[in-house]
Each structure stands twice: as C-alpha cells, then as structure tokens.
C-alpha cells in the first residue's frame, strides 16, 4: 500500500496574500492565477454527549470557516474549474428553463402534446439534479487538494506536487 504524503499549512499563512508558493499544488506548474476561497470546518459531535450535543442539535449551528487568500492555480486547474463550472451552469439553468418552459406550455396551450412536454419536464428536472456533479468537480478543495484540519487551525494539502513542497521550504 502506498503512503500518501501531506503538508500542513497554518491558518495564518493561508489567510494572508503572497505567503503561498508560486506553483500549483496539484500539477506543480507555475501559477497563472490566484484564487480566494473558503473551507468549511465541520466538527462531529463527540459520542455519548447526550441530547445536548448530538448530531441533530449541532446541525443548525453555523460551521466555522477557514479563509484562503491567493491560492496558486496553474492554467490547467483554472481551465478545469472554468469548464466544470460552465457545465454546472448549463445543466442547472438549462434544466430550469426546460422544466418550467414545459409547464408553461402545458398551461398556456389549448391542446398540448402531453407526452413530449412531460418528457421535456422530466429531462429538465434530471438535468437540475445532475448539476451537482460538475459543481463538485469545479470546487476549490478538489482542485487544490486542500482540506481544513478538524480543529480549523490549519489547511492540510494531500499529496502536493514536489514544486509546491519545494516553494514552502525554500
């Protein structure tokens, strides 16, 4: 079994612009753009805490947010994010237009083709639901391999490139 290496960056380091390496953490290429994003720190309730601190009572609390400023992205990562985010928008808003357009035609037309409109509405609904996949694929945590630590005091980069790691030490 292969061991997975990781790098832990303190929260103070990732909050300030200009402190991060000049190479992409995923591919090791020189950064073309820099991204600002936030990571949500989710903390699971301790077992046996009773009714005062269980999964249902902690669900309504606002999660802690760890802000990242100026994360380096190479052209391939920026292009990947743009493509997946565009696919998300096309699927979601195309699904909304198809779904509600089919409903509007059904209501407005005197003798509408029911089967075709039902199929159009169903395809639109499925497109809206399926839009979560490219939305997930366009997310910064997946692109950067960065996740918050359980305590929220640092960012853990899983299997960073050698160039990214070298920029941190040198």
The Cα–Cα gap between 28 and 22 comes to 9
Residue 54 has pLDDT above 80, yes or no: no
For the record, the structure tokens of 106 come out as 């059904």
The Cα–Cα gap between 93 and 77 comes to 24
CB 64 within 8 A of CB 40: yes
Q: Percentage of residues in the chain with pLDDT exceeding 70?
A: 85
Domain count, the chain: 1
Q: Percentage of residues in the chain with pLDDT exceeding 90?
A: 46
- Residue 1 covered by a domain: no
| Model confidence band, residue 11 (pLDDT cutoffs 50, 70, 90) | confident
- Residue 30 covered by a domain: yes
Give the per-residue pLDDT at 88: 97
C-alpha separations of 55 from 41, 46, 58, 63, 156 in Å: 15, 9, 5, 13, 25
In terms of residue numbers, what domain contains 86?
6-169
Region 121-126: what's the mean pLDDT?
96
Give the per-residue pLDDT at 47: 53
| Model confidence band, residue 150 (pLDDT cutoffs 50, 70, 90) | confident
- Residue 96 covered by a domain: yes
The model carries a pTM of: 0.77
Give the per-residue pLDDT at 60: 57
């Amino acid at each position: 079994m292969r061991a997975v290496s990781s790098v832990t960056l303190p929260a103070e380091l990732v909050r300030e612009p200009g402190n991060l390496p000049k190479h992409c953490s995923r591919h090791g290429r020189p950064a073309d753009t820099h991204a600002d994003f936030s990571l949500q720190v989710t903390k699971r309730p301790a077992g046996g805490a009773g009714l005062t601190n269980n999964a249902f009572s902690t669900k309504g609390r606002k999660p802690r947010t760890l802000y990242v400023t100026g994360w380096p992205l190479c052209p391939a990562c920026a292009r990947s994010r743009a493509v997946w985010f565009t696919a998300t928008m096309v699927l979601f808003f195309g699904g909304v237009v198809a779904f509600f357009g089919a409903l509007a035609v059904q209501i407005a037309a005197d003798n509408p083709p029911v089967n075709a409109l039902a199929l159009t509405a169903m395809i639109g609904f499925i497109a809206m639901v399926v839009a979560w996949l490219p939305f997930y694929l366009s997310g910064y945590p997946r692109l950067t391999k960065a996740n918050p630590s359980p305590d929220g005091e640092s960012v853990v980069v899983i299997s960073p490139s050698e160039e990214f790691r070298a920029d941190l030490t040198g």
